[in-house]
A and B are shown apart, each in its own frame.
Chain A
Amino acid sequence: MTTLRLCALACLLATAASAQPFTDSKSESVGPSLIGAAWERVVAGERTATTAEASARTVVHLRLAGRQFRLLGIRQEAEWPSDSRQRIELPGSVRFTLPAPDLSLNRRLLSTPPLVVPVGPVPVAIGANVSGQIELDRDPVSRRGSASRHRFRGTLRLSGTAEAGVTYAVAGAGVEGTLDLLNAEMPAELTLSPSRIEYDVLMRRSSNIRLEVFVQVGVGFLSRRFTRELVNYALAGTDFVLQGSR
């Protein structure tokens, strides 16, 4: 009987001591491949008999003329019993950990060279400039029993201008529209202990992309404004939720 109890205890310890990693993710894509955006929210975590850590990550990409550009990444990290960190990834492989709990940062994230795509019968050169505002903040780590609670707040706003022009000069060409790629709030709450990791991670976002290219061609009878809608996408504000416990 004693031998059996020892075996059970050993099994329990072995189970508790082994890593318990997990990931949970959601992603979304708006707009066509001509111009659009995509983002993902990923929660990853791992606990052992003596440690627990988890992170909530947001990665945003821009699609332009079939190509994909990584715009930025934001990582909210928590480590039991008392550490919280926030990290920012900017274009050019720049990543840094915030030395302070909060930051409001504005950056130019992307400026593409013109990419020529056919729009109807007219070859159009499209380029995009994207600027972003990142606002991050976190609360001091609090306790809930033996568990540590880590609360993060984040806001991400990406807007841009798209420049389009026909590859020949006629009477006029340009692009009209709005490019609010993403307007998102990213709160995250991570509760950690070696026996359990709970996460409640949101992404409350909206997006509005509308672009129309126009070309003024010819003179005389042919003088007219030739317009073509490139993309029109409006995403109503909704929640993008990741919740669970491991």
Chain B
Amino acid sequence: MGRTWLATCAAAGGIALVVFALGLPRAEAPAPSRPSLTNQAAPGASPRPGASPARHAPAAPSAALELDPRALHGVYAVSTRHRLELGEATLLELSAAGRLDLSVEADDAGYRLAQRYRFSEREATPGAPGFPDELSLVAEVDPRGALRRLGLPQGDAAARNLARTLWAAVAVRWPEGEPEWSHPATPAHARGEDRFALGPDGARLTRTRTLTSLPDGSPLDGRGELELRLLDGRLTALSGVERTRIATPQGELLATTEVHLTRTGDDPAAVTLALEWEQQPAFEAAPAVEVPARDAPTLVQALERAVRVGPERAVPALFDELARRLAAHPDEVALVLQALRDGGLPHAAQCALVDALGASATAEAQRGLLELLDEDRPRLLGNLYLALGDQAAPLPETTDRLADDALIADGALSPWARTAAGIQIARAEPRWAKTQLRTSLLASLDAGAPRREVLEALAQSGDPVVLDLLGDDERSPDPGTRAAAAEALRNVRGPEADRRLLALSADDAPAVQRAALDALGLRPASSAAVDRARSALVDPALHADAHRALGAWAHDPHTPAGLQARLLELLRATQPCGCAVLVPEGGPQ
């Protein structure tokens, strides 16, 4: 990771230096035997074929300069600083300073610029990746200044990508013998323009950058200036500052980059490099985040494959993806129904399809589920009813079907129907649906439906009617019935339900106490409930349930902070019992 930020410096300093220096106008002349930079008239200067179409009209008189890239050969003090701010807050700040040895060699194809950065001072905000200690790279350019290839540290993909990015940010074409010209600026594919101007004495080159938009078209205000100073045929200094502003909902985001180079010597140390060479370096965009959408038939195939040959752990994710797909494309419900009717799908895949239809929560899916319910699919009854019961906005025909089936005293489908009716009373929005289903469930008691089953269904909603129904159950001599009563009270809110649950938590039978403690743990903490759970901690038969209830209160944001702290302390003190999972690693949020 540290290598990634290399680029900030490596590219900012090295590549910019090379490119801009090479970007100077020059006359057609063989490379001199020594570095030289001379002002002279340009009688023979004429535009080259392929010169930039964005070039501005030249200002007279034009100057012709001869620059041998070997003028860059030398040792430099380099410093760079980067800052990212959002409003008043500094998000990221990096800086580094050190030495650059830049060696330039001419060959038949152009020039080879070997650069070695050694940073003696490095600073970064905590958590941010820092600069590397040392970095080497080689840029090979043709005689006109165009990058031919980059040599980068072997295997350093981050460095490679960043160097490409930075190269794209600063690359310019040979500008011909004119003192002012411009080119499109393409830093990170943002849109904008670079304008270049050569000072009258030929010893100073400036680049003014203006950026106007990001690749996606969103507006951007980017401005920067870079200046190179030349003396006696040598680069003596490079200095640049660039500021980019982007408006965000949270305020203005400001990115600032500064780069400074000052010549300190003429004899760079030899650079020993182990590099990989990149032909035609280009900016490589970040990979897309969006997962390509898959249609329902493709997802059904993937689901079948996961169930048959694995990995089976992919099933929940495929179920979720299918549900989202069907919610966005209700027209594909018919394709899923067809896949179920065609047969041949493994049972687990059929269940996942039915569940996905239910989770998609469209009217089309509900109608499809009702159709399937009328077909002979005994092994899918549970999934079909539970999917219908989970609908928050049931169709009238859905509610009618559940109410009718819940009334049937016995049979294979009626227990599922009662369970689904209970879930829908808890989930559904329309009051008429709740009323209809509750009436049906209560009527099923008179029709001989099992009492525990009906109570369990009604208990899903926290319907206060449960309080009236449970009186005898709470006093039953059978501990199982009393435990079921405690279960049925878990969703009923109010002081009366609290009082009864506390009474059941002190029952003689551990099964009843466990059920009551579990139900209490699902409600907001009360001092009486906390005291009861604390006292139950010492009972081996109740320890796990008491611990779970205390853990739930400790994590409940509605629990007062002081009580939360005491509960956490208590839970940590009782960790050796094997219930450590309920103790958070940090404090309450």
Which of B317, B348, B351, B427 has a CB less than 8 Å from the CB of A131? B317
* 351-374 of chain B: CB within 8 A of chain A: 351-352, 355-356, 359
- B447 on the A face (CB < 8 A): no
A67-B555 contact in complex given A23-B540, A168-B86, C-beta closer than 8 Å: yes
Of all chain A residues, the one with the shortest Cβ separation from B315 is A133
Which residues on the B side are within 8 Å of A160 (C-beta)?
Answer: 317
* 44-60 of chain A: CB within 8 A of chain B: 44, 46, 53, 59
Q: Are A172 and B289 in contact (CB under 8 A)?
A: yes
Q: Are B12 and A221 in contact (CB under 8 A)?
A: yes
Q: Which of B27-35, B100-108, B243-251, B265-273 contacts A (4 or more CB under 8 A)?
A: B243-251
- CA A171 to CA B222, docked complex, whole Å: 14
Q: Are A220 and B579 in contact (CB under 8 A)?
A: no
Could you jot down 10 A-B contacts, CB within 8 Å? A66-B584, A95-B456, A96-B423, A99-B412, A133-B315, A133-B352, A219-B214, A220-B255, A221-B7, A226-B128
Interface Cβ pair total, 8 Å cutoff: 263
- B383 on the A face (CB < 8 A): yes
Which residues on the A side are within 8 Å of B453 (C-beta)?
Answer: 97
Q: Could you tell me the distance in whole angstroms from the C-beta of A153 to the nearest C-beta in chain B?
A: 13
Q: Which of B66-74, B231-239, B337-345, B414-422 contacts A (4 or more CB under 8 A)?
A: B414-422
* 198-255 of chain B: CB within 8 A of chain A: 209, 211, 214-215, 218, 220, 222, 224, 242, 244, 246, 248-251, 253, 255
Which residues on the A side are within 8 Å of B314 (C-beta)?
Answer: 159
- B391 on the A face (CB < 8 A): no
Q: Are A46 and B84 in contact (CB under 8 A)?
A: no
Query: Which residues of B come within 8 Å of A, CB atoms?
Result: 1, 4-5, 7-8, 11-12, 82, 84, 86, 90-92, 125-129, 161-162, 165-166, 169, 187-188, 190, 209, 211, 214-215, 218, 220, 222, 224, 242, 244, 246, 248-251, 253, 255, 257, 259, 286, 289, 312-317, 319-320, 323, 347-348, 351-352, 355-356, 359, 381-383, 386, 412, 415-416, 419, 422-423, 426-427, 453, 456-457, 459-460, 462, 480, 487, 490-491, 508-511, 514, 522, 540-545, 548, 551-552, 555, 557, 577-582, 584-589
Q: Are B423 and A221 in contact (CB under 8 A)?
A: no
Q: Are B581 and A44 in contact (CB under 8 A)?
A: no
* 66-80 of chain A: CB within 8 A of chain B: 66-68, 70, 79
Which residues on the A side are within 8 Å of B552 (C-beta)?
Answer: 70
Which residues on the B side are within 8 Å of A223 (C-beta)?
Answer: 165, 169, 187-188, 190
Q: Are A159 and B588 in contact (CB under 8 A)?
A: no
- CA A44 to CA B539, docked complex, whole Å: 12
Q: Are B286 and A68 in contact (CB under 8 A)?
A: no
- CA A107 to CA B389, docked complex, whole Å: 13
Q: Are B581 and A96 in contact (CB under 8 A)?
A: no
Q: Could you tell me the distance in whole angstroms from the C-beta of A179 to the nearest C-beta in chain B?
A: 9
A94-B426 contact in complex given A106-B315, A121-B128, A131-B319, C-beta closer than 8 Å: yes
A218-B313 contact in complex given A23-B540, A32-B585, C-beta closer than 8 Å: no
Q: Are A183 and B313 in contact (CB under 8 A)?
A: yes
Q: Are B416 and A168 in contact (CB under 8 A)?
A: no
A63-B584 contact in complex given A105-B382, A218-B84, C-beta closer than 8 Å: yes
Q: Are B415 and A99 in contact (CB under 8 A)?
A: yes
Q: Are B578 and A217 in contact (CB under 8 A)?
A: no
Which residues on the B side are within 8 Å of A180 (C-beta)?
Answer: 313
- CA A131 to CA B317, docked complex, whole Å: 7
Which residues on the A side are within 8 Å of B584 (C-beta)?
Answer: 33, 63, 66, 68
Which of B257, B383, B415, B487 has a CB less than 8 Å from the CB of A221? B257
Q: Are A25 and B320 in contact (CB under 8 A)?
A: no
Of all chain B residues, the one with the shortest Cβ separation from A156 is B316
